[in-house]
């Protein structure tokens, strides 16, 4: 009896399915797309209904031959590609290739690679959803039109090798505009005054912040104002005016979507969006977890929904009651509301079985896999737990016409906090305020001291990968499958750089953004891009014709493109000479930018291929060679001696070329976390010398003279 054929995209997913299905099924992998637009040309007939010209990608011939051979012998074919637009389009292309040899083709869809989920999918096959396919085609063609029309314009006007994209260029615009806000920001000085107080008969001190004068909010602008207030406040009696104590509930966050997983993995693990998605894909497609065999550990990782299947909720509630006690189970299962436009059939990202605890599977997972799985498991379990209850206390204190406030909080019932606490974008760990002594209205207080403190208003922070993903999602730009590729693309193109986990626009990024905003305002408009995403959603729902959508976009775009070709003047972006001659041919050396950042090269390229890393004006402490900036294969900056491999000096922290006043070894600018100001420390780990954080060290610090 002939077997049925199941086709998936990846070999990993195929291996997992082979172990889950019985002998009635064969499983093969298509290795991704089997048809796509050509790389060497536009591949879209704009004069003939935007008809795409699909071709078989290079190297896919043997794969297609194998697929056809397997399909020809099969009783039927089940297309089991991923449950989204991209997966539907792959199934559609597979159907066109396999239909001539076996017309018995059906589409199946499952959101987790487990035996039960796959069996349910096989029992409910369906036809290809053409609306999903058309939404994918529309997006692909829109991106192709913008990319293949705008990029050559940048080559001609700026320099070769540049690229523009319908969504990536808007992401660069967000980074550039944030940088403009930071540059234009003028810090405003302000002061606060904190009183250290205690009850007359007790020694336990607590702090209270000056809030009001005569019922109005206090504003202190200068040190002189602060000192005058301190002198006045030192002479006044302090009395408790009101004590307010109450229970405050704190609710858990929803289980992960693609966006929130990428954000939290960036905050807590320091992972890029791309790295997170690679690991999540492995967890979804299946891993060998010992006696249980190979199984998918999480549900599908490209989703913008927070819905959870009732059965998964039931299992979570049972586990929580057993592991933490009945009081940790809320009276009703928690339900979360997905944002408007989220894919209704999808679930949030969750473990396929809550019984597979992180510690149970840890022996079988790589470090990355374990850390991401633990994050997903904990977030899901916490999302189904009871709220935490905080005991909060606010004390208003009067001193003459002045009002002070002291606050305290402590955990009364931990609830979901037993398992998980959401990260913060500023990188600071959340700490409890602490508690206050027992105070009552009318209590007289003893003033122990007044602490005036100077502050300055802060500019908006630069984007991290986490906050840029959130900004894209909040503005309706991109979809779950696009966030990671967007950020990777703008980094690889040299439009933004990642330093201390913050995204900085490069000079090239600023230039290209300025040109595109000036000449292609519609393409670069955030709201227009968001409306386009909504239109694509309407195509998926069958409420919008994809050809009409393309026509409405392309007509105005082509007109603007024609004007820009005439209006944009060529920009001279000649590489910067560094004032040295090439040691090989004598021509000037210049700074160039490559995939992994800046480097020094001969201006005579390609005739002369001399290159070297960028130096930082500091000599190696081991052999006196020049210290140069290098990058790992993953793009992380480090510093090493230019004489490598003869000299093996390396440092993650930037050498400063100054000697430590205590031990004489080299001082370095310590890497700052989350955009904080770097501090200067001794490179000798046994030495405790450290300078207080100050303004950012200059990029090139010369050795002392």
- Burial classification of residue 7, based on how many CB atoms lie within 10 Å of its CB (0-12 exposed, 13-18 middle, 19 or more buried): buried
Write out the DSSP string of 318-343.
HHHHHHH-GGGS-SS----PPPTT--
What is the spatial distance between Cα 471 and Cα 684, in angstroms, rounded to a whole number?
41
What is the spatial distance between Cα 671 and Cα 499, in angstroms, rounded to a whole number?
10
Selecting among 78, 238, 271, 300, the annotated active-site residue is 300
Q: Residue 138: which of 53, 56, 55, 50 has the closest Cα?
A: 50
Evaluate whether 319 touches 370 at the Cβ level (below 8 Å): no
- Burial classification of residue 22, based on how many CB atoms lie within 10 Å of its CB (0-12 exposed, 13-18 middle, 19 or more buried): exposed
Specify the residue for token string 């305290």: 408
**Catalytic residue flag (residue 300):** yes
What count of other Cβ atoms lies within 10 Å of the Cβ of residue 699?
Answer: 10
What is the spatial distance between Cα 29 and Cα 11, in angstroms, rounded to a whole number?
5
Rg (C-alpha) for the chain, rounded Å, is 31
Evaluate whether 113 touches 295 at the Cβ level (below 8 Å): yes
Residues 6+ apart with CB under 8 A from 38: 53, 55
Three-state DSSP state, 690: strand
What is the spatial distance between Cα 317 and Cα 319, in angstroms, rounded to a whole number?
5
Write out the DSSP string of 100-124.
TT---EEE---SS-SHHHHHHHHTS
Run of H or E including 492: helix 483-492
Token pair of 652, please?
Answer: 């993650």
Three-state DSSP state, 397: strand
Q: Where in the sequence numbering do the catalytic residues fall?
A: 300
């Amino acid at each position: 009896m002939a077997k049925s054929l199941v086709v998936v995209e990846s070999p990993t997913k195929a291996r997992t399915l082979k172990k889950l299905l019985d002998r009635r099924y064969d499983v093969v992998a298509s290795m991704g797309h089997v048809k796509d637009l050509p790389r060497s040309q536009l591949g879209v007939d704009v004069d003939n209904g935007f008809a795409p010209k699909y071709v078989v990608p290079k190297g896919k011939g043997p794969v297609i031959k194998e697929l056809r051979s397997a399909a020809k012998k099969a009783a039927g074919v089940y297309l089991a590609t991923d449950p989204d637009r991209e997966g539907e389009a792959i199934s559609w292309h597979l159907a066109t290739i396999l239909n001539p040899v076996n017309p018995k083709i059906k589409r199946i869809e499952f959101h987790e690679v487990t035996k039960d989920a796959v069996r349910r999918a096989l029992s409910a096959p369906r036809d290809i959803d053409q609306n999903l396919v058309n939404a994918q085609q529309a997006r692909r063609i829109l991106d192709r039109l913008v990319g293949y029309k705008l990029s050559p314009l940048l080559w001609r006007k700026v320099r070769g090798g540049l690229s523009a994209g319908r969504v990536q260029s808007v992401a660069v615009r967000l980074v550039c505009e944030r940088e403009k806000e930071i540059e234009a920001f003028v810090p405003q000085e302000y002061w606060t005054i904190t009183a250290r107080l205690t009850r007359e008969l007790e020694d336990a001190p607590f702090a209270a912040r000056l809030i009001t004068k005569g019922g109005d909010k206090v504003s202190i602008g200068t040190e002189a104002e602060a000192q005058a207030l301190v002198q006045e406040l030192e002479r006044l009696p302090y009395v408790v005016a009101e004590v307010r104590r109450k229970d405050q509930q704190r609710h858990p966050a929803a289980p992960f979507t693609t966006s929130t997983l990428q954000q939290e993995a960036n905050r807590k693990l320091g992972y890029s969006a791309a790295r997170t998605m690679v690991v999540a894909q492995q967890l979804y497609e299946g891993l060998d977890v010992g006696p249980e065999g190979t199984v998918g550990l999480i549900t599908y990782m490209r989703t913008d929904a927070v819905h959870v299947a009732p059965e998964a909720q039931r299992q979570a509630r049972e586990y929580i009651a057993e592991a933490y006690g009945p009081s940790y189970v809320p009276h009703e299962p928690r339900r979360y509301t997905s944002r408007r436009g989220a894919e209704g059939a999808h679930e949030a990202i969750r473990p396929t079985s809550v019984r597979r605890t992180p510690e149970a599977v840890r022996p079988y997972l790589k470090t990355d896999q374990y850390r991401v799985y633990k994050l997903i498991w904990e977030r899901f379990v916490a999302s189904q737990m009871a709220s935490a209850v905080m005991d909060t206390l606010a004390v208003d204190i009067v001193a003459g016409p002045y009002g002070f406030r002291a606050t305290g909080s402590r955990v009364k019932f931990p609830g979901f906090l037993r398992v998980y606490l959401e990260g913060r974008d500023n990188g600071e760990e959340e700490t409890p305020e602490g508690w206050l002594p027992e105070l009552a209205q009318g209590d007289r207080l003893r003033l122990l001291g007044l602490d005036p403190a100077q502050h300055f208003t802060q500019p908006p922070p630069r984007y991290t990968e986490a906050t840029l993903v959130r900004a894209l999602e909040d503005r309706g730009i991109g979809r779950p499958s696009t966030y990671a590729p967007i950020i990777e693309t703008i980094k690889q193109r040299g439009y933004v750089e990642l330093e201390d986990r913050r995204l900085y626009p490069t000079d090239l990024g600023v230039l290209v953004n300025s040109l595109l905003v000036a000449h292609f305002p519609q393409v670069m408009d955030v709201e227009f891009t968001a409306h386009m995403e909504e239109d694509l959603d309407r195509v998926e729902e069958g409420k919008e014709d994809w050809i009409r959508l393309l026509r409405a976009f392309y007509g105005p775009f082509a007109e603007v493109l024609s004007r820009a070709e005439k209006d944009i003047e060529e920009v001279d972006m000649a590489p910067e000479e560094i004032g040295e001659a090439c040691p090989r041919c004598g021509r000037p050396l210049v700074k160039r930018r490559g995939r992994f950042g800046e480097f020094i090269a001969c201006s005579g390229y390609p005739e002369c291929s001399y290159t070297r890393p960028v130096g930082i004006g500091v000599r190696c402490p081991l052999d006196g060679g020049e210290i140069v900036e290098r990058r790992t294969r993953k793009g992380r900056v480090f510093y090493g001696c230019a004489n490598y491999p003869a000299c093996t000096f390396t440092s993650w922290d930037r050498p400063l070329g100054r000697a430590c006043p205590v031990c004489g070894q080299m001082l370095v600018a310590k890497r700052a976390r989350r955009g904080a100001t770097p501090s200067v420390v001794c490179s000798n780990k046994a030495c405790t010398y450290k300078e207080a954080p100050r303004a950012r060290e200059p990029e090139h610090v010369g050795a002392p003279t």
